[in-house]
Amino acid sequence: MNLRTVSLRRRVAVSVLLVLVALVIAVDRTFQGQSNRDVDLVLRDAENRAGALLLKGVPPRDVVRQLSKRNIHVTVELPNGNRFGDVPEEGQFARKNRNFGAAKFTFYADTEAISQAQVRLRKLLIMLGLGAIVVTGVLMIWVVRRALAPLDAMTSLAQAIAAGHRGGRLNPSRTDTELGRAAAAFDGMLDSLEGSEQRTRRFVADAAHELRTPITGVQAVAEALVQAPVDSPDRDQMSFLLVREARRAGRLVDDLLALAQLDAGYEMQREAVDLLGLAEAEVARTRYVAPDFDIAAEGFPVTVIGDGQRLAQVLANLVDNARQATGPQGTVRIRVDQTGFTVSDNGPGVPESERERIFDRLVRLDDARDRRSGGSGLGLAIARGVVRAHGGELTCEPSESGAVFRVVLAVTPA
C-alpha cells in the first residue's frame, strides 16, 4: 500500500484561496447578469410604450420625443427616408431594433452608469478578497495548528517509541471523531505491538532456559567423558547420557524451527490424505513403541487435502500427550468423522481454566513429568499452528472424564 501524503496546511490554504476567488467571480458574474437583465427590461418597457402610443395614433415624431429621456434614446426611420431622434455618439449604450409597420424604431439604453458600478464593485471585491485572504491566512495558521495538534502528537509518540521509549499512549478524549478514531486505533496498535514484543521476549527467554538444561548436560557429560580413563566402566553410561541430552536438545531445536516456519507462513504440501489411514498408522506406531498400551482407531475413511506429514505430526503429538497423561494402563481412542478427528483418553483431563492456555508456547501442566519425558511444551502450539495452516482448528473440548482434543479440517467430499 502506497500512502499518498500531501501537506494539509498547503491543501487548506489552496482550498481557501480557490473558494475566495470563486466567490469573487460568482458575485461579479451575478451582478453583470442582473445588470444585463435590468437593461433589457428597460428596453422592452420603452418598446412596449412605443407600440402603445402608435396604436393611439401618436405620430412617430412625437413618440420619439416622449420616450427619449436622460438614459433612453429613441430614433425612428420612416419609409420615405425621414429620420427623427438623435443617435448617441458618446458613452456606452445597449441597442434594440423593432419595426412597427413600415417605421423602424431603434431604442438605446445608457449602460455607462452600470459599467461604472460594476467596476467599483470589482475593485471592492478585490480589496475585500485580499483582506479576507490575509485574515483567513492568519486564522488558518492558528486553526490548522490546533486541528493538526493530534497528528503532531501521534508523530512525536511514534518517534519516541522508535527511539525506545515504550508505554506512551495518546488516550483520546473522544473516539467518535476522525482523529479520535485514528488515535484509538494507534493506541490499540501500540498495545498489540508491545504485547507481541513481550510475548516474544518471554518466549525467547523460556526457549533459552529450556535449551540451557540439555546443553549443560551435554557439556558436563562431554567433559567427564574426556577426563575419564579409557578403560573406565562408566564410559558407556556417560556416552548414553550424552546421546540422550543431545537428542533432547535436538528435539527442542526442531520444535523451535517448526514454530518459526509456521510463523513465517510455511508452505504446506497439498495432497489427498486419508484421515482413517493416518489414524491407523499412528496406532501401529504407538503399539510398536508401547506394545501393551490400549489404543485404537475408529470411524470411516475421510479424505482431506493437506500435508500428510504435518497432519501425522499433529496426530502423533496428541497421542503422545495422551499416552504420557494416562500412563501405561491408560486408554486412547482416535475417532475419525466427517469433519476431522478426535483424540480422547481416560487420564486426569484438562481443567477448564487451562483448556486454552495449554496451546501457548512452552506451557506444561505437569512440568516434572514433561521434563522426564523430554517434552518441551511446544507440541500443542505446533499442532494448532499446523491445523490452522490447513484452514482448520484444534481445541480442547469439555469432557466428563479424561481429555478430548478436537481437530476440525476441510473434508473433501467423496
* CATH number of the domain residue 90 falls in: 3.30.450
- Residue 103's Cα: distance from chain center in Å? 79
- Looking at the domain assignment, is residue 161 inside a domain? no
Question: What mean pLDDT is reported for the chain?
Answer: 80
- Looking at the domain assignment, is residue 157 inside a domain? no
- Same domain for 297 and 320, yes or no, is yes
pLDDT recorded at residue 91: 62
Neighbours of 410 (CB within 10 A): 12
Query: Residue 387: pLDDT above 80?
Result: yes
For residue 5, what pLDDT band results from cuts at 50, 70 and 90? low
Question: In this structure, what DSSP letter does residue 233 have?
Answer: T
- Same domain for 273 and 258, yes or no, is no
* Cell digits of residue 33: 447578469
What is the C-alpha to C-alpha distance for residues 410 and 305, in angstroms, rounded to an integer?
A: 8
* CATH number of the domain residue 286 falls in: 3.30.565.10
Query: Residue 367: pLDDT above 60?
Result: no
376 vs 334: which has the higher pLDDT: 334
Domain-terminating residue out of 238, 266, 294: 266
Query: Residue 246: pLDDT above 60?
Result: yes
pLDDT recorded at residue 407: 95
118 vs 210: which has the higher pLDDT: 118
28-72 confidence digits (pLDDT tens): 788 888 888 888 888 888 888 888 888 888 888 888 888 887 778
For cell 444585463, the residue is 36
pLDDT recorded at residue 224: 82
- Same domain for 338 and 272, yes or no, is yes
* Burial of 71 per CB tally in 10 Å (0-12, 13-18, 19+): middle
Those residues with Cβ within 8 angstroms of residue 338's Cβ, 6 or more apart along the chain or in another chain: 302, 411
- Looking at the domain assignment, is residue 150 inside a domain? no
* CATH number of the domain residue 190 falls in: 1.10.287.130
354 vs 88: which has the higher pLDDT: 354
282 vs 130: which has the higher pLDDT: 282
Specify the number of domains making up the chain.
3
For residue 154, what pLDDT band results from cuts at 50, 70 and 90? confident
- Looking at the domain assignment, is residue 91 inside a domain? yes
- Same domain for 43 and 90, yes or no, is yes
- Looking at the domain assignment, is residue 213 inside a domain? yes
- Looking at the domain assignment, is residue 155 inside a domain? no
Residues facing residue 333 across a β-bridge: 296, 344
pLDDT recorded at residue 26: 85
- Amino acid identity of residue 357, one-letter, is R
* Burial of 306 per CB tally in 10 Å (0-12, 13-18, 19+): buried
**Domain assignment of residue 127, given as a range:** 8-145
pLDDT recorded at residue 369: 40
pLDDT recorded at residue 297: 95
- Same domain for 134 and 192, yes or no, is no
- Same domain for 273 and 286, yes or no, is yes
- Same domain for 320 and 350, yes or no, is yes
**DSSP reduced 3-state for 96:** strand
- Compute the half-sphere exposure of residue 127: CA atoms within 13 Å on the CB side of its CA: 6
302-356 confidence digits (pLDDT tens): 999 989 988 998 999 999 999 988 988 899 999 999 999 999 999 898 888 888 8
- Same domain for 99 and 227, yes or no, is no
**DSSP reduced 3-state for 106:** strand
190-208 confidence digits (pLDDT tens): 777 776 766 677 767 766 7
Q: Which residue in 357, 356, 295 sits closest to 327, CA to CA?
A: 295
3-state helix, strand, coil in the chain (%, to 5): 60, 15, 25
pLDDT recorded at residue 29: 84
- Same domain for 251 and 272, yes or no, is no
- Residue 346's Cα: distance from chain center in Å? 47
What is the C-alpha to C-alpha distance for residues 14 and 34, in angstroms, rounded to an integer?
A: 30
Q: Which residue in 83, 54, 80, 81 sits closest to 67, CA to CA?
A: 54
Q: Which residue in 35, 208, 62, 237 sits closest to 119, CA to CA?
A: 35
Domain-terminating residue out of 111, 145, 179: 145
pTM beyond 0.85, yes or no: no
Query: Residue 364: pLDDT above 80?
Result: no
Domain-terminating residue out of 266, 293, 328: 266
- Same domain for 238 and 338, yes or no, is no
- Looking at the domain assignment, is residue 378 inside a domain? yes
- Same domain for 57 and 133, yes or no, is yes
- Residue 253's Cα: distance from chain center in Å? 36
pLDDT recorded at residue 120: 80
* Cell digits of residue 320: 503422545
- Same domain for 218 and 277, yes or no, is no
The rounded radius of gyration (Å) of the Cα atoms in the chain is 47
Q: Which residue in 29, 21, 30, 31 sits closest to 128, CA to CA?
A: 21
- Looking at the domain assignment, is residue 156 inside a domain? no
Across 279-288, 325-334, 361-370, least confident range:
361-370
* Cell digits of residue 125: 471585491
